[in-house]
């Protein structure tokens, strides 16, 4: 019985490390504008709010990925600088700046821990 509890304890303690590794991969994909790798992080339905769009819209993973990629291309985004990351239960918030010459745009990602991390909401302002 002790061995089972010990093994369960180890498994539970490694879960946050795996989530942290995934957030690092996500941030790296944003920093390098690697949208093909970013595609696996999107949830089945994603709320997207982008600066130039009037209303928040729900998109499929491919559409959300394309919307963000279009924003990067149209605004000549050259990088991403993470400002903060916060975890509340199974929800993770990542905020940062998208860099484009002298202009910086705010990016907020809302992620949900399910079977790995999934982006459920993205906002660019």
pLDDT tens-digit series, residues 22-56: 899 999 999 999 999 999 999 999 999 998 776 77
Over range 80-107, report the average pLDDT.
93
Sequence spans of domains, the chain: 2-124
pTM of the predicted model, to two decimals? Answer: 0.80
* Integer Cα distance of 17 and 49 in angstroms: 30
Distance CA 85, CA 99 (A): 18
Task: Return the CATH class of domain 2-124.
Answer: alpha beta
Q: Percent of the chain beyond pLDDT 90?
A: 65
Distance CA 24, CA 18 (A): 10
Q: Are 61 and 39 in contact (CB under 8 A)?
A: yes
């Amino acid at each position: 019985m002790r061995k089972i509890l010990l093994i369960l304890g180890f498994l539970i303690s490694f879960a946050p490390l795996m989530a942290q590794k995934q957030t690092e991969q996500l941030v790296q994909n944003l920093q390098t504008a690697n949208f093909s790798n970013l595609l696996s992080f999107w949830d089945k339905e994603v709320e997207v709010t982008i600066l130039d769009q009037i209303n928040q819209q729900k998109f499929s993973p491919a559409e959300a990925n394309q919307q963000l990629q279009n924003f990067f291309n149209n605004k000549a985004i050259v990088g991403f600088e993470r400002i903060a990351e916060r975890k509340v239960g199974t929800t993770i918030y990542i905020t940062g700046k998208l860099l484009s010459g002298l202009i910086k745009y705010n990016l907020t990602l809302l992620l949900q821990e399910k079977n790995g991390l999934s982006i459920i909401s993205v906002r660019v302002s």
